[in-house]
């Protein structure tokens, strides 16, 4: 006899990260921190091994009156001032599309609600072959199938595979829902060029002649792009979408504000017609009320305060971390190039991922552990979290990994 619904998959989640973090911590406790390289943690850490928490963000939060921290949000779609500031911050000024913003519990809530609002049980969600693991879990929990496109062809986005996957799904389905996690893709650090985006949009417009298309653009890491606000320029391509394409930009305060635990983000719904946007918003609002009700009021007020009153301080504090990330990735990439350690095309972001088949990955991972180097296995690769590795640990890491890689090849 089972108490859970018959259709649910009851296989427990295998947490790839938790186990290896634990191994790394135990090794550090036994051998001392200097002997261990812990490249597992997917949050931003400073050079002293401490979680980066922007002062401006938490000063603002703690400055709020207790009643503001205590109270419900003004509406199920989020506070109006929050929605307005999210729109101002995320979207390029010149974008003309109709839009509405719905506050969500982090980027997770935005992506999950986008999927739940648009696909029927049994339909197929399109995601990249190398991707944040939660997409597949969201599909599983909603009884959806997955189709995966290969992410790269040599050192660029694999548009052919993307097209082929979409067309195959369109053959059997009356709606196309695709996820593009860009810029600063997790876990490879790839960002599509504006030309690549232009091609993606042109293709989705073609598809929309057959069926409505929803593009879920997960921008969780956008504020750690090395291009500053220019990293949003690609969104101007969205103005070219046909009437039968909708875009949901999924924004998260977790990384942008270093406020992972506050659980605040937003779904920004874009389409040519107001009525198309309104329909998606109505469904998302009902889902919000049915699942999480409303969003952390303090987090939303903090975001508004930072954007309106403390912006310069925020910008400077965050930029120092962007610069740090760039320095760490620069060292790793330079050393990797010098010793011939192969990786997926990295442009910016929290992670660099070494490319290999899954058999090699498993052997390589075990050999790394034996040398006290802790990483995370991803599909077809090994993820190196430069976001949490101090510069001194990054230095020399690529050649060490290359030596270990060569030893498992023979
Ligand atoms: N999207 C990607 C690719 C992520 O890696 C994450 C977090 O790790 C998220 C979205 C969502 O994060 P949160 O729900 O904390 O905003």
Of 160, 234, 235, the C-alpha closest to 195 is 234
pLDDT at 17: 84
Q: What are phi and psi of 252, to 5 degrees?
A: -135, 135
> 407 CA to middle of ligand 1, Å?
35
Pair 393, 28: CB distance under 8 Å: no
* Strand pairing class (213-218; 245-252): parallel
pLDDT at 3: 94
Give the tens place of pLDDT for each residue, 18-39: 889 999 999 999 998 889 999 9
> 186 CA to middle of ligand 1, Å?
9
Q: How far apart are CA 178 and CA 155, in angstroms?
A: 22
Nearest atom (ligand 1) to Cα of 106: 16
pLDDT at 113: 98
Higher pLDDT, 34 or 124: 124
Look at 17-31, 101-115, 336-350 and tell me which has the smallest mean pLDDT.
17-31
Q: In a 3-state reduction of DSSP, which class is residue 352? A: strand
Residues with CB under 6 A from ligand 1: 106-108, 132, 181, 186, 218, 220, 252, 254, 260, 265
Nearest atom (ligand 1) to Cα of 105: 14
Residue 345's Cβ-side half-sphere holds a number of Cα atoms within 13 Å equal to 13
Residue 408 has pLDDT above 70, yes or no: yes
Pair 281, 327: CB distance under 8 Å: no
% of residues, the chain, pLDDT over 70: 100
Nearest atom (ligand 1) to Cα of 181: 3
Pair 8, 141: CB distance under 8 Å: yes
% of residues, the chain, pLDDT over 90: 96
What distances in angstroms separate CA 211 from CA 91, 173, 207, one per listed residue? 26, 8, 7
Pair 240, 201: CB distance under 8 Å: yes
Nearest atom (ligand 1) to Cα of 108: 14
The overall pTM is greater than 0.95: yes
Assigned token pair, 81: 């001032």
Q: How far apart are CA 88 and CA 71, in angstroms?
A: 25
Give the tens place of pLDDT for each residue, 294-335: 999 999 999 999 999 999 999 999 999 999 999 999 999 999
Mean pLDDT of 193-197: 97
Pair 113, 335: CB distance under 8 Å: no
Residue owning the nearest CA to atom 6 of ligand 1: 220
> 109 CA to middle of ligand 1, Å?
9
Name the CA radius of gyration of the chain, rounded: 21
């Amino acid at each position: 006899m089972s108490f859970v619904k018959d259709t649910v998959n009851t296989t427990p989640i295998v947490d790839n990260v938790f186990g290896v973090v634990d191994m790394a911590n135990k090794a550090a406790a036994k051998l001392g921190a200097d002997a261990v390289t812990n490249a597992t943690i997917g949050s931003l850490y400073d050079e002293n091994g401490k979680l980066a928490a922007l002062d401006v963000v938490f000063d603002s939060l703690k400055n709020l009156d207790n009643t503001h921290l205590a109270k419900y949000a003004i509406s199920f779609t989020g506070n109006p001032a929050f929605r307005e500031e999210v729109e101002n911050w995320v979207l390029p000024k010149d974008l003309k599309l109709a839009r509405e913003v719905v506050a969500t519990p982090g980027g997770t809530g935005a992506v999950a609600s986008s999927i739940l609002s648009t696909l029927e049980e049994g339909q197929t969600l399109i995601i990249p072959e190398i991707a944040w693991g939660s997409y597949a879990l969201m599909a599983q929990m909603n009884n959806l199938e997955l189709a995966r496109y290969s992410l790269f062809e040599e050192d660029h986005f694999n548009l052919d595979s993307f097209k082929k996957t979409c067309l195959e799904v369109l053959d059997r389905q009356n709606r196309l829902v695709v996820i593009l996690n860009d810029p600063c893709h997790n876990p490879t650090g790839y960002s599509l060029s504006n030309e690549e985006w232009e091609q993606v949009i042109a293709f989705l417009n073609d598809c929309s002649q057959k069926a409505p298309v929803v593009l879920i653009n997960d921008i969780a890491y956008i504020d750690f792009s090395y291009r500053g606000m220019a990293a949003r320029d690609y969104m101007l391509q969205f103005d070219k979408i046909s009437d039968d394409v909708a875009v949901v930009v999924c924004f998260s305060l977790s990384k942008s504000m270093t406020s992972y635990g506050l659980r605040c983000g937003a779904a920004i719904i874009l389409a040519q017609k107001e009525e198309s946007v309104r329909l998606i918003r109505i469904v998302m609002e009902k889902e919000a009320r049915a699942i999480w009700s409303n969003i952390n009021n303090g987090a939303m007020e903090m975001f508004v305060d930072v954007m309106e009153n403390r912006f310069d301080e925020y910008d400077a504090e965050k930029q120092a971390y962007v610069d740090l990330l760039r320095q760490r990735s620069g060292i790793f990439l330079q050393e990797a190039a010098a010793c011939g350690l192969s990786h997926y095309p990295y442009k910016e972001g929290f992670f660099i991922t070494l490319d290999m088949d899954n058999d090699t990955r498993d052997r390589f991972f075990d050999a790394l552990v034996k040398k006290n180097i802790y990483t995370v296995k991803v599909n077809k690769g090994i993820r190196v979290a430069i976001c949490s590795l101090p510069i001194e640990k990054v230095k020399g890491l690529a050649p060490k990994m290359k030596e270990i890689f060569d030893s498992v090849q023979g």
